[in-house]
Amino acid sequence: MTRRREATNTIATYGWVERAFHWVIAVLILTALVLGKLAHDAGFDTDAALARKAWLFSFHKTVGVTIFLVALARIGWALSQPRPRPLHGGLEGFAAAAVHWLLYGSLVLVPLLGWSEHAAATGFAPIWWPFGQDLPFVPKDPELAKILATLHTTFVKVLVGALVLHIAGTLKHVLIDRDLTFARIWRGADPGQVPARGGKALPVVTALAVWAGTLVVALALVPEGTVAAPGQASVAGTSNWTVEGGTLSISVTQIGSAVTGSFADWQAAIDFDETPRDDGTLGTVEVSIATGSLTLGSVTTQAISGEFLASEAHPTARFDAVIRPDGADYLAEGDLVIRDASVPLTLPFTLQIEGDRAVMAGQVDLDRRDFGIGAAYPDESNVGFGVTVDVALTATRGAPDS
């Protein structure tokens, strides 16, 4: 049995190019799995901890993209080459082929799903490839990112399972069979004449069935939105307008990247007249916000944690203000309460009223330090001080139904 140094495959041997692809991908997979575990387990309670977590995730994502590109190159090379025949047939040969197909598919699916999740989400830990932050046809969508994250982690389990079976089979060949199956991919050993084997379609069908089953399971595991308990946000003030819909969103900066998210649960009581009242104001507004209903890209968990909004201990934020005219526009002047810290706030906004329908839009900048948020992050190297709040709503004239 000879050792081959040729670049190309034969029906009995692997060339050095195929072997190089095999071992490079093996090292990359192990690296990505270890980095992913370390990144998920890492804390973010201090500047240094967050920086380490972001670095681990960036490294993990970058290795994942590398695996995807190398896997495509390996598949392209394999399609141009003869496929070395397996040394064993029957049930063992079928199982080995099915596992190989699972591995080939997973090497493309797992990193592509992770990359797509990154492209759909906003947040820290950029991919270090210069072209890696976005993908064509993948919009920035937190719900899509959540689905892709679940698919990615579920298909990782298929990849790990296939790896375990692959390694177990390798050990069997080395320790029990003592044949040249491992030697062929390790040093290009030539086992000589190898008989042809049939049944090539069934392993492919088996792998496709596993992937289809995994997809069904993953979609069933997608978590529901992170919305606070119903009724968490509530207002009791007088209201002569009924809010029909709108958005309450925030934008922050983390690790130099802008991250935008929104609150799913908030209510507003608006008592507003178009002509000034005796005190010169146009009315009042009371807003209640369920802090636990925030979705903020890939940093949602961090944002509602005890170091930041502390949603468990402080489930609501409030803004109570009077409304005043400001030339052609308006001001809402009052106090914003977050984490029991009350800070004076003036929100400038525009208002268009047509008949009994009003459209409002406003924006204001906050400083997280005023509310004791992120005290463990004393500078802006990881978490910016500024928070931009955007409000947009439509309302109809008339008190809301009780």
Q: What is the pLDDT of residues 268-308, one digit of tens each?
A: 999 999 999 988 899 999 999 999 999 888 888 889 999 99
Tell me what pLDDT residue 193 has: 84
Distance, in Å, from the CA atom of 344 to the CA atom of 280, rounded to the nearest integer, reads: 20
Our measurement of the distance from residue 204's CA atom to the centroid of its chain's CA atoms, rounded to an integer in Å, reads 30
Beta bridge partners of 222: none
Answer yes or no: is pLDDT of 81 > 50.
yes
Average pLDDT over residues 242-253: 94
Distance, in Å, from the CA atom of 300 to the CA atom of 115, rounded to the nearest integer, reads: 19
Q: What is the pLDDT of residues 345-391, one digit of tens each?
A: 999 999 999 999 999 999 999 999 999 999 889 889 889 999 999 99
pLDDT band, very low/low/confident/very high, at 1 (cuts 50, 70, 90): very low
Q: What is the pLDDT of residues 148-185, one digit of tens each?
A: 999 999 999 999 999 999 999 999 999 998 999 999 99
How is the chain split into domains, by residue range?
Answer: 16-221, 241-397
Tell me what pLDDT residue 232 has: 76
Task: Indicate the fold that domain 241-397 takes in CATH.
Answer: Lipocalin (2.40.128)
DSSP 141-173: -HHHHHHHHHHHHHHHHHHHHHHHHHHHHHHII
Question: Residue 174 in contact with residue 87, Cβ under 8 Å?
Answer: no
CATH class of the domain comprising 16-221: mainly alpha
Tell me what pLDDT residue 18 has: 93
181-214 exposure pattern, b = at least 16 Cβ within 10 A, e = fewer: bbbbbbebbbbeebeeeeeeeebeebbeebbeeb
Distance, in Å, from the CA atom of 265 to the CA atom of 291, rounded to the nearest integer, reads: 8
What is the percentage of the chain residues whose pLDDT exceeds 90? 65
Question: Residue 400 in contact with residue 242, Cβ under 8 Å?
Answer: yes
Give the DSSP letter of residue 383. Answer: B
Tell me the average pLDDT of the chain.
90
Tell me what pLDDT residue 4 has: 54
Q: What is the dihedral of CA 110, 116, 117, 121, to 10 degrees?
A: 170
Distance, in Å, from the CA atom of 218 to the CA atom of 267, rounded to the nearest integer, reads: 34
Question: Residue 21 in contact with residue 70, Cβ under 8 Å?
Answer: yes
Answer yes or no: is pLDDT of 88 > 70.
yes
Distance, in Å, from the CA atom of 111 to the CA atom of 101, rounded to the nearest integer, reads: 16
Tell me what pLDDT residue 223 has: 79
Global pTM reads 0.81
pLDDT band, very low/low/confident/very high, at 254 (cuts 50, 70, 90): confident
DSSP 193-248: --------HHHHHHHHHHHHHHHHHHHHHPPPP--PPTT-S---S--SEEEEEEEE
Tell me what pLDDT residue 45 has: 79
Answer yes or no: is pLDDT of 85 > 60.
yes
Q: What is the pLDDT of residues 192-242, one digit of tens each?
A: 888 877 667 899 999 999 999 999 999 999 877 554 455 577 888 789 999
